[in-house]
Structure 1
Amino acid sequence: MTEQEKFEAYVKKCMEDHQAVGMAVAVLDAQGGTSYEQFFGKRDRESGAAIDDETIFGLASLTKSFTCLAILKMQEDGILSIDDPVSDYIPEFKGMNQGEPVLIRHLMYHSGGYFPQSRIVVDTVAAELGLDEAVVGDLAYNAELAQEGCRQVAGRLDAQNEFIGRPGEYFSYCNDGYGLLSDIIYHHGGCASYADYLLEHILKPLGMERSFCDFVRPLKDENHATLYAVVAGELTKVRDYHDNAFVLNGGGAMKSTLKDLKKYIAMYLNGGTGLNKAAIAKPETIEAMTTKHQMDSYVTDYGYGLDIKELNGFQVAGHGGSLPGVSSHLLWCLERGVGVIVLCNTEDVPVSGVAEAALSMGMGFEAERKAHHYENKPWDAEDLKAACGVYASDEGTRVELLMNESGEALLKNGEKTSPVIMIEPGHGMIAGEYGDTFIQMIADEHRGVFGMRYGSRILPRAEA
């Protein structure tokens, strides 16, 4: 079996196991040349319509790299410094109760100190304001919605009085922080909205003609991917791009195509210059985005809007995205000059594993996700006992750490209980076929064990 055949068998199994309807995969080089491109499944299950490189997909949190690129371009232009307090740019945000300022860069690598919060969504805020999209136009460009969204997000952050740590101390994925970043871009970037800034300063200069933040436009386009999710075990159509969409666009509003995203990745592989020779950002800006700034998980660090890890002994950068009807991933290796794009129109498909396998193939290695193997090194029994309990966030995640009769750690998530490989004191891993989940116990001398890093978020300990 060739590496390509091995890769395609892996993709098809992943899609079958997660009821994925359609997936687009491409491997490219720094010159924009495509060494591999394949379209699996369909963009619409009911009609049987095929996917091509112009099919519009949602990007979800891949948007975060665009947001950080925009902020750093504003720094290049002398509009701001990422070492400035956020409150200097957003009057609605006071940075209350923290004891020291939350800086712009803290939000860029998810280290404002905030526990995960439930999502403030477009539909809810628009309804509160009486905004009818058919009357006011696409909500991605609506100033009234953006202003009220910022007021609500900033107010909720300021209302917190219990924090993970001081600003910059801990990474914990925070969509609210990226909401505030998009407000800075909106009010200080010289454009009518966050969406307009991306269009004017990044998308149009790169020639990304089918990329945007619009909510309405994708589904009116003849070549869009219908959105799906598995609900109670059944594959179901998602209503539209408003579904669970965050009220401020900087965390996840982008839509794009395989063809356009090749231009975006090539820009990173060429130090900020597009394939059309357009200078989007300075080389030092791109270097800053792909420099490790904060530990994300046991094997991953975070730059600015990008995850950074190792694959086959090389540093790689990228990001994933997940929303109703969206599973997406970008990944590239600067040293080898190769990048990959994976776009899927079904929620909760582990496309990060597909991206790793594709990039590994593109780098000349075996076409497979690199599983992590660790010897189980049991924690001290008293430490494990102290860590056992329920950890839950307002975002909806709830897990429980247990200890069985043999002193082994188990993690319960919903109906599923999994063994925890205890890597070292306070760190563990739950192995998975398409991706591993790492945990870390978070403690201090005053609160003891008060949180668990589960994946990319730190969950607070629930009341007994």
Structure 2
Amino acid sequence: MKITNLIILLFLGQIIFAQSRAEKIDSVSQIIHNKNPEVAISIGFIDNGKEYFFNYGNISRENNANINKNTIYEIGSITKLLTANLIAQAQEEGKLKIDEFIDDYIPEEYTLPKNIRNKIKISDLASHQSGLPDLDFEKLMKLKPKQPLDVNKETIHSIINDSTELLDYGNYRYSNISYTLLGMILEKVYEEDFEKILRDKILVPAQMSNTYTTKFDVKNRVTGYDINGVEQDYFNWNPLTAPAGLLKSNSSDMTKFLKTLLSNSGQISKATEITENTYYKNTQREVGFGQEIARIQDDTFFYKTGDTFSGSSIIAYDKKSNWGIIILINQHNSDLIRNLFNSNYEKALE
């Protein structure tokens, strides 16, 4: 009887601790939103398997309808975390090896020049150290100011086929072209398009029914704004650049993804173990496979940020403490998203 009572007390203690951590997140985030009332903020938090959702603000600055856990945002480069997981799954299935060179994995129409063949590994792409030139965003902005990622094969050819040297191979340099190539590699080894691979291997297994690719014109969707508060379009889906950052989702679906990562069961979670290894490290950052690694004293958590013209986001999780968090805002404001995460980490998660 005493043992039973002890178990009950321990269980209740875990619930109270989880609630207090969630309550701290709500309190901290509400204070930050009060200072930025024009910005919509959606947060999904998972603590020892229990889900919490916090939403502050409206669908747009002209529409006072409240946002909720199902409200859609652009998640930007958080897409890369899902792409990296797909590559890790491909290794688990024997479709590729991430320490192999990319030469035999990219489509035949993309041919690396002779002097840079057999130098770039798949893991180099995922950890942003391939040395390849990236998409010329400034040039693309001039061509299509609202849709710079709407590129064609000729643009990709000009980067891959005409690269004569790897200027900074082995050094970290954030790269969208690397994830464009990872998408091509996935399509080649599975002989299916990226969207179908993503749906079959992540969205359906994780029950992410409201994460959008080509069609995202839904009613419950925030209007996005740039840093100056000017309304911005969402990026259209482009099959070439999609793996680098074109998904749209909500805090509910992304929390399901986090729950799957933390579950220690299933193909997605198993692949996550590969993405959590260190592939690049210097005094300023430590990079895994599609995500960054933060070590604070004896605590380690993994995170990925995302920015588009219309929003900013961050996803993070800590397996030891068994928590995960997704924060989405409808303004391109990396300082605000950083403040939201850092403040919550210091007050509730550390």
The answer to whether the superposition gives a TM-score over 0.5 is yes
Amino acid at match of 2:249: S
Structure 1 gaps of 5+ residues are 126-139, 274-278, 366-464
Which residue of the partner structure matches residue 390 of structure 1?
none
Instruction: Note the C-alpha offset of 1:336.
Output: 0.2
* Identity within the alignment, %: 20
User: Cα gap change, 1:206/1:338 in structure 2, threshold over 3 Å: closer, same or farther?
Assistant: same
> Match for residue 245 of structure 2?
252
How far apart, CA to CA, are the structure 2 residues paired with 1:312 and 1:362?
Answer: 16
> Alignment length, in residue pairs?
319
State the shift of 1:253 in Å: 1.1
- 1:173 corresponds to which residue? 174
**2:54, 2:69 within 8 Å by CA — same for their partners in 1?**
no
C-alpha separation between the residues in 1 aligned to 2:284 and 2:347?
A: 21
3-state SS, counterpart of residue 48 of structure 1: coil
Distance 2:33 2:124 in 1: 36
Is residue 261 of structure 2 the alignment partner of residue 268 of structure 1? Answer: yes
TM (norm. structure 2) is 0.82
Partner of 2:201: 201
Counterpart pick for 2:123 among 78, 92, 105: 105
Aligned residue identity for 2:161: D
Structure 2 gaps of 5+ residues are 1-22
Which residue in the other structure is 1:427 paired with? none
* Structure (1 or 2) with the greater strand fraction: 1
Kindly indicate whether the alpha-carbon contact (under 8 Å) linking 1:332 and 1:359 is maintained by their aligned counterparts in 2: no
Counterpart AA for 2:314: H
Deviations 1:359-379 (A, max 9, x none): 44443x4xxxxxxxxxxxxxx
CA drift of 1:68 comes to 0.8
**Structure 1 residue 357 and structure 2 residue 343: aligned?**
yes
Which residue of the other structure, out of 264, 267, 273, is the alignment partner of 1:287? Answer: 273
Does structure 1 retain, via aligned residues, the 8 Å contact 2:101–2:119? yes
Aligned residue in 2 for 1:218? 216
CA shift, 1:99, in A, is 6.1
What is the CA distance between 1:161 and its match in structure 2? 3.3
In 2 relative to 1, CA 99–78 (structure 1 residues): closer, same or farther, beyond 3 Å? closer
Q: Is the 8 A contact 1:93 1:155 kept in 2?
A: no
Q: Secondary structure at the match of 2:205?
A: helix
The one-letter code sitting in structure 2 at the alignment partner of 1:218 is F
Structure with more contact order per residue of length (Cα contacts < 8 Å, sep ≥ 6) = 2
Describe how 1:45-64 pairs up with structure 2 within 5 A. Answer: 45-64=61-80
Aligned counterparts of 1:212 and 1:183: Cα–Cα separation in 2: 20
Q: Distance in 1 between matches of 2:63 and 2:259?
A: 34
Task: Return the match for 1:344 from 316, 321, 329.
Answer: 329
Offset of residue 239 of structure 1 = 2.7
Structure with the largest fraction of helix: 2
2:209 alignment partner, SS class:
coil
Q: 2:294 aligns with which of 309, 319, 330?
A: 309
Q: Is the 8 A contact 2:75 2:311 kept in 1?
A: yes
Quickly say closer, same or farther: Cα 1:157–1:202, change in 2 above 3 A. Answer: same
> Hey, what's the Cα distance between the residues in 1 that align with 2:285 and 2:245?
21
The CA distance in 2 between the partners of 1:361 and 1:312, in whole Å, is 16
Going from structure 1 to structure 2, the CA distance change for 1:202 and 1:307 (only over 3 Å counts) comes to same
CA RMSD of aligned residues (A): 2.8
